[in-house]
Structure 1
Amino acid sequence: MTERNLTMLTDFYEFTMAHGYFEKGIADRRAYFDMFFRRVPDGGGYAIMAGVEQLIEYFKNLHFTEEDIAYLRRCGCFSEAFLNYLRDFKFACDVWAVPEGTPVFPGEPLVTVAGPMIQAQFVETMVLLTINHQTLIATKANRISRAAQGRTVLEFGSRRAQGYDGAIYGARATYIGGCQGTACVLADRDFGVPAGGTMAHSWVQMFDSEYEAFKAYSDIYPNNCVFLVDTFNVLKSGVPNAIRVAKEMVAEKGIRPKGIRLDSGDIAYLSIEARKLLDEAGFPDMQIMASNSLDEYIVSDLLMQGARVDSFGIGERMITSKSEPVFGGVYKLAAVENAAGEIIPKIKVSENVEKITTPHFKQVYRLFDNATGKALGDVITVYDETIDQTQPYTLFDPIHTWKQRVVTNYTVRPLRVQLFKNGECVYQSPAIDKIRDYCKAEVDTLWDQIKRFENPQTYFVDLSKKLWSCKNELLEACRI
């Protein structure tokens, strides 16, 4: 995919703060920022991390052009010395992130950027924009894919996405989350998300009859025939004409069509009746696809009603996460370094408890039960802590500290990887098929109670005793 310079895709206050740091002589002071989220969309039990590959591309291409400098000069509020600093700008931060496809939970630092204060602060907008969007869509796609209970789910939402980037990167995210393909051709060309499609209602309307439309399509694409059967009347016209053409295909070419698609009406009833007609005609192998403003709840309801649907095409309710279209990730300062290189933790306090940040440069570990392979919980620690998996470990709720659990016979895995070191990329993004497979395997490590759509069990995300103590000491110091 052609690289775009998105350096100027930022909030204006990033420039005013950067200029302020520069003028006060603290531009190069090392700072640590965390990107995290506070609540899973749709009341779900977990989210699916996505967008890391695009974040890497952004960091690699950070630079200011002469056009950018000229624009900032016209703003009339930045010094020439600062503009010269931007002209010679070179990204020099360290970056850590949770790999794409990983189930993640509120409060966990999904991305940490550490480096010169002016740089670590400046990238806030794009870190949030990139991770918030794709993580939101991957999470929604995972919910819908699970609702389909193993049936194929395809992304059909390009025409109703929030702009063309929403369509392209949204299609990528849906594939990570569990979809098998997309209708978006550009997502296939640039990211390798399998693209496919057959016909629209307009194809059927272009011909003198529905039969002629189906016949013409079968002549041109005999190996990819999925007939759209609801242009006129599904059971009296569409399915009978599809069966007629299917029989002719078998007789003339020895090829059996793939199936039919329902895009309107009572999908449950129509799919059951269509299945009967297809089976009676000798085509039990022809599959039935359903589309038409579906989401995880409608898909679940259809299957509970006995719908005979083999695959689903999901449009605007997935590509926009229509039920909850904002992920809500935030980017907060967690620590700075003093002149001696000592890390000084920083905290943001709020009367809203969930908005109180967790200070310090941190690491995240996931603990797995050796007997079942299931995830036991996550522990956020200070950066230099390790967990000895040969010893029992006590998980405790950081708010309700009396809620504790001692775990044994477990394996510990660091949750994050380093993307950049001193501004140089040290991470190679996996192929998207690998990310998708990894996502499925990681979701399988979660207990079913956490994967419920309604009232999922809360997953343990705890603080180490050292980090919990640090946070509480800073809170005590803030008392007035």
Structure 2
Amino acid sequence: MLKRPLVVRESDLSLLVDLYELAMAQAYWSEGMDDTAVFSLFFRELPDNRNFILACGQQNVVRVIESLAFTDEHIKRLESLNRFQSGFLDWLRGFRFSGSVHAVAEGTPLFPQEPLLEVEGPVAEVQLLESLVMNYVHLESVLASKAVRLTFAAGDRPVVDFGMRRTHGVDAAHRSVRAYRLAGLAGTSNVLAGLDFNMPVYGTMAHSFVQACPDELDAFRAYARLYPGTTLLVDTYDTRTAVRRIIQWLKEEPEVRIGGIRLDSGDLAAEAVDCRNMLDEAGFTDIKIMASGGLNEHKIAKLLSAAAPIDGFGVGTAIGVSNDEPALELAFKMTEYADLPRMKNSPGKQSFPGRKQIYRRLGTDGCITQDVVAGRDEVFDGDPLLKPVMKHGQVPEDAIPTLDDQVRAAEQMIATLPQRFRSLEPLGENPVVISEFLRALQKDTLAKVGGG
């Protein structure tokens, strides 16, 4: 076994496949099966606690696909498995994805049976992409779908990501911030990801600094001196006592600037009320109150329904692992091969054959009224959501917008969600209609393969 780096290198992503994908690729190669296949990435049902999924990563992964290649080192490692013929390994040496991809825009709200993306190309090439594409899109879509719920709960108050330390792996900790930005979060504590994805970076202080100083007020003085306008963590010992000390200190030294205080434990609503009253009575109405500590969208909604005077929220575990719904049952299924429709008919997993398009219809209020999942060549009223982002293995110039443009577009698309879909409670409503053409194609395809 070769010594490996601590993290997966981008140049090694071609090996990030499940074994059966390589095995099937060799079977296609061996049988001379190289016709064009179409695979669709979608989900059949929403998780119990989601009314939609915020699709993320489906365009970003195309950049990964574009650069996939098998090096001599990769081939050597595959040879060690004693499963692959030399001719097939030579085929892998020359592998470059040559197909096309249609995908919805980053940050698009989607519903069951709507493709996040569709991949077309020689069947073995597309098959090799399955697990990589699913893993890539799954992470960002799951975390973005959690993050956007936090923004709904917080309303006009900012939500900041504090989740890096409990996110499942460093790659997830990094790419999650891209998803959070698309979902509308205000910032992150993650310095690398914040810099990479042009997201504001925020941080206050830890209890350890207060504990390490001779006195709590000494810690506050030192931090304020080093970071004017900082936010001070006030619950290391006793929150209300700490705030009273800050007020007295600020009165004695009016040149000191404090931007806010952070509450991280206890009865956040009661503490926020008391702290706000103390600060306002002392004339420090501009000092903001931020809350953190085990928060999720339901706790934030409860705090705001109780009129807690909290100006912003930091959320860690709940967002970093999407702990109420950590998985989305994505499926990557063949829908066409050699110009013929294909489908799966397993119980509970029946799919619709053929290349597809989604038409989104908006009402006079600018909100979604209906989505039509149709055949690729059908035309309906509404905005077509699936757009070409890769042709012949290359990403055309301007096919994928900049992240800043994607964020602005995602904000507009999220704004089209009717209020009922923004509810934190399960709605059980699906605005998707399957076209008659697709239903007829499914029935006809099933009859031809002996299923009906």
Query: Paired residue for 1:445?
Result: 416
Aligned 1:162-201 pairs, distance under 5 A? 162-201=168-207
Displacement of 1:191: 1.4
Query: Paired residue for 1:345?
Result: 341
- Which letter does structure 2 place at the counterpart of 1:336? Y
Query: Paired residue for 1:460?
Result: 431
Aligned 1:22-171 pairs, distance under 5 A? 22-26=29-33, 28-171=34-177
Query: Paired residue for 2:273?
Result: 272
On the 8 A contact 2:343/2:442 being kept in 1, the answer is yes
CA distance in 1 between partners of 2:163 and 2:451 (Å)? 50
Structure 1 stretches of 4+ moved >4 Å: none
Aligned length: 442
Q: Can you give the 5+ residue segments of structure 1 that lack an aligned partner in the other structure? A: 338-342, 390-411
CA distance in 2 between partners of 1:171 and 1:381 (Å)? 33
Displacement of 1:367: 1.2
**Deviation digits for residues 36-62 of structure 1, max 9, x if unmatched?**
012233432111111135302211210
Query: Paired residue for 1:367?
Result: 361
**Deviation digits for residues 361-410 of structure 1, max 9, x if unmatched?**
111111122x22221211111111112x4xxxxxxxxxxxxxxxxxxxxx
Displacement of 1:279: 0.6
Displacement of 1:246: 3.4
Helix, strand or coil for the counterpart of 1:43?
coil
TM-score normalised per structure 2: 0.94
CA distance in 2 between partners of 1:269 and 1:194 (Å)? 29
Query: Paired residue for 1:290?
Result: 291
Query: Paired residue for 1:376?
Result: 369
CA distance in 2 between partners of 1:119 and 1:278 (Å)? 63
Query: Paired residue for 1:479?
Result: 451
Displacement of 1:428: 4.3
Displacement of 1:194: 1.5
- Which letter does structure 2 place at the counterpart of 1:414? P
Query: Paired residue for 2:14?
Result: 7
Displacement of 1:417: 1.5
Aligned 1:201-350 pairs, distance under 5 A? 201-223=207-229, 225-236=230-241, 238-248=242-252, 251-252=254-255, 256-337=257-338, 343-350=339-346
**Deviation digits for residues 216-239 of structure 1, max 9, x if unmatched?**
11111113x101000000012x21
Task: Please tell me whether residue 358 in structure 1 is matched to residue 352 in structure 2.
Answer: yes
Name the CA shift for 1:416/1:242 in 2 (closer, same or farther; >3 Å). farther
Displacement of 1:431: 3.3
Helix, strand or coil for the counterpart of 2:371?
strand
CA distance in 2 between partners of 1:42 and 1:258 (Å)? 40
Name the CA shift for 1:248/1:139 in 2 (closer, same or farther; >3 Å). farther
On the 8 A contact 1:141/1:318 being kept in 2, the answer is yes
CA distance in 1 between partners of 2:369 and 2:138 (Å)? 26
CA distance in 2 between partners of 1:248 and 1:61 (Å)? 61
CA distance in 1 between partners of 2:240 and 2:326 (Å)? 36
CA distance in 2 between partners of 1:4 and 1:267 (Å)? 47
Displacement of 1:445: 1.2
Displacement of 1:178: 1.5
Helix, strand or coil for the counterpart of 1:96?
strand
* Root mean square deviation, CA, Å: 1.6
TM-score normalised per structure 1: 0.89
On the 8 A contact 2:48/2:426 being kept in 1, the answer is no
CA distance in 2 between partners of 1:157 and 1:248 (Å)? 37
**Deviation digits for residues 136-192 of structure 1, max 9, x if unmatched?**
000000001100121100000101110111111112211211111000011122211
On the 8 A contact 1:108/1:364 being kept in 2, the answer is yes
Helix, strand or coil for the counterpart of 1:357?
coil
On the 8 A contact 2:102/2:118 being kept in 1, the answer is yes
Displacement of 1:450: 2.0
CA distance in 1 between partners of 2:268 and 2:404 (Å)? 31
Query: Paired residue for 1:400?
Result: none
CA distance in 1 between partners of 2:141 and 2:43 (Å)? 11
CA distance in 1 between partners of 2:118 and 2:419 (Å)? 30
Helix, strand or coil for the counterpart of 1:365?
strand
- Give aligned-pair identity as a percent: 37
Q: Can you give the 5+ residue segments of structure 2 that lack an aligned partner in the other structure? A: 1-8
CA distance in 2 between partners of 1:450 and 1:188 (Å)? 29
Name the CA shift for 1:122/1:373 in 2 (closer, same or farther; >3 Å). same
- Which letter does structure 2 place at the counterpart of 1:359? P
CA distance in 1 between partners of 2:234 and 2:390 (Å)? 52
On the 8 A contact 1:45/1:456 being kept in 2, the answer is yes
